[in-house]
Homo-oligomer: A and B are copies of this chain.
Amino acid sequence: MNDPTARAALVPDRHPPHLAERTVEEAQVWHGSFLSLRRDVVALPDGRRAVREYIQHPGAVMVVPVLDDGRLVLERQYRYPVRRAMIEFPAGKLDPGESAFACAERELREETGYQADEWARAGVLHPAIGYADEFIEIWFARRLQAGERALDDGERLDVLAVPPDELLQAVCAGEVTDGKTLAALLWWQNVASGAWPLAWRAAAQWRAMAPAAQEAVP
């Protein structure tokens, strides 16, 4: 969104020869109900071998839903791995063949009941680069209308509408610690200040767009 030519790129090459690792062997070593685990052997830049273990993930989408009065829609959900209820923006995994926009619209409606007239694709984050290939697309939604939720079987969550200042205070106080939600708040704060402009489009426009075209916006 900013002009990348105005400064030196921080990652001029995704595979710099002095850092890049090359796949030598690959194996799926575990496949459970939800997680798949890979164990690959790689060649380091000096030719030596090393083992890399990581979770294979289909990718996900997170939505930052902004109500007309400025409050943000969030969820309170029990997250068993960390043994506590967490505050987080709505998010969910991509279904096979699903576009990021379709996933964003579906997850927002299913989990919170809200539908949005206008959407913008902000960016992407990688939550656990040491041990997962997961990416999370970050989308903003506005012009929201409340409706009925349709939770998955066994899914339980509270829906909250929180003023942004209160949410930021809760981060500072250590009450909100979900990584993707903190990354989304960095986006929200810079969008709200005008530093990072978003390309808003009508939902119908996004729906008509092929996934590759979605990724090329703006």
Q: What is the distance, in angstroms, from A214's C-beta to the closest C-beta of chain B?
A: 14
Q: What is the distance, in angstroms, from A136's C-beta to the closest C-beta of chain B?
A: 8
A-B contact pairs, 25 of them (CB 8 A): A2-B172, A10-B162, A11-B76, A11-B86, A13-B85, A14-B84, A15-B83, A15-B85, A29-B30, A32-B53, A34-B51, A54-B80, A55-B81, A81-B132, A124-B174, A125-B178, A126-B178, A127-B179, A128-B132, A168-B190, A182-B186, A183-B186, A185-B186, A186-B186, A189-B189
Q: Are B10 and A76 in contact (CB under 8 A)?
A: yes
> Counting chain B CB atoms within 10 Å of each CB, which of A45, A128, A136, A157 scores highest?
A128
The SS class assigned to the A binding surface is: mixed
Q: What is the distance, in angstroms, from A127's C-beta to the closest C-beta of chain B?
A: 4
